[in-house]
Amino acid sequence: EATGKRGLLEQTELPSPISAPSLHTACCLAPGALRRLIELPSPPLNRHQLKRLEEHRYSSAGRSLLEPLMQRYWEWLVGRVPAWIAPNLITIVGLATNVFTTLVLVYYCPTATEQAPLWAYLLCAVGLFVYQSLDAIDGKQARRTNSSSPLGELFDHGCDSLSTVFVVLGTSIAVQLGTNPDWMFFCCFAGMFMFYCAHWQTYVSGTLRFGIIDVTEVQIFIIIMYLLAAVGGSAFWQSLIPVINIQMKIVPAICTFLGAIFSCTNYFRVIFTGGKGKNGSTIAGTSVLSPVLHIGSVIILAMMIYKKSAIQLFEKHPCVYILAFGFVSAKITNKLVVAHMTKSEMHLHDIAFLGPGLLFLDQYFNSFIDEYLVLWIALILSFVDLVRYCVSVWHGRHYCLSLFLSLSLHVS
């Protein structure tokens, strides 16, 4: 059963039968003002990709340490959910809860060095638990109501990619990791990188694999960290551990480092073993290393801008910085999921890199525009691009796939 990264599936309604020319016109030109608003420079999915999306079946392997125990709670919880509630509504409520509670921390701790009210940490702990619970039962609700389709899985993974950004940011704020900017940078981008790698190895092998220590265990560990922040406050995380003489806040950072090594070892073992496609390629027939260009570009740009900044941009504004690059990471992760589900190539050129590119160029020309202003521009551009992409994927693919299925039924 799917938890955390595992997708829910949702049923789609079919319009009345149409002709083949109408299908092509609708897919390429689609509904009026909304289509013009969200239109992207990339072409729509062709009929072959739509067919592969229709034929996609969710595949997973492995079970984490705490999942059997949590399954009892999740089964009980989904049984209390009314059948009329859509699985996607469950997913979006969980995401909204997680985003809202994290933004409360961002408000009180913009540099990740401040002490937030104790209730804010408790709120984040509850918010993450609610998100975990709802994310675990959306797929169960879909199966329970017989409303499964690949589009639901796409929606679920998209929400997870965005939630990952807020989880890593909220955790860093809770332990006041802003006083150690190098560690904060590493922990936040390591979290995004590991989530990306989970779908990278899925793009290669066709199966989403779960380790003995996976998303469920990590989320529970983070909930405990929020509770410790609420009980002990800043004094707890700043206290020194006897003998080794390091601050308590460095322990979660070291755990992140060890967890990244453990997870990436498993991910890259699958990736370098060879893919499911021809001659060991990905399921799309592309190089197993091709996805590294996207996430590598994000991390390299983020690192260069961080280290080259003349005004200590990341150190002074870590939350805005992480969100700006986090939205880019979420966008390219969504593209990777779409490429996997449609068995398509993942192209490197993407408008998502516009924001980071502006920051890089501004620094290259000796920051002739205030870096902080450009950072906010990058944040807005990245967020708008992510929203446009998600809306176009959901409405465009949903609409075109429905037309394609309707045509198939009409022909048959």
Q: Is 157 among the residues known to form the active site?
A: yes
| Chain centre to alpha carbon of residue 91 | 13
CA–CA distances in Å: residue 137 to residues 10, 88, 150, 159: 13, 11, 16, 14
User: Choosing from 56, 157, 199, 294, which is the catalytic residue?
Assistant: 157
280 φ, ψ (degrees, to nearest 5): 80, 20
CA distance 101 to 223: 13
CA–CA distances in Å: residue 115 to residues 187, 189, 233, 276, 354: 20, 23, 7, 49, 34
Cα-based angle 47, 53, 58 (whole degrees, multiple of 5): 165
Cα-based angle 105, 221, 337 (whole degrees, multiple of 5): 80
Q: Quick one: three-class SS letters along the chain?
A: CCCCCCCCCCCCCCCCCCCHHHHHHHHHHCCHHHHHHHCCCCCCCCHHHHHHHHHCCCCEECCCCCHHHHHHHHHHHHCCCCCCCCHHHHHHHHHHHHHHHHHHHHHHCCCCCCCCCHHHHHHHHHHHHHHHHHHHHHHHHHHHCCCCCHHHHHHHHHHHHHHHHHHHHHHHHHCCHHHCHHHHHHHHHHHHHHHHHHHHHHHHHCCEECCCCCHHHHHHHHHHHHHHHHHHHHHHHHCECCCCCCECCHHHHHHHHHHHHHHHHHHHHHHHHCCCCHHHCCCCCCCCCCCHHHHHHHHHHHHHHHHHCCCCHHHHCHHHHHHHHHHHHHHHHHHHHHHHHHCCCCCCCCHHHHHHHHHHHHHHCCCCCCHHHHHHHHHHHHHHHHHHHHHHHHHHHHHHHHHHHHHHHHHC
CA distance 274 to 254: 31
Catalytic residues: 157
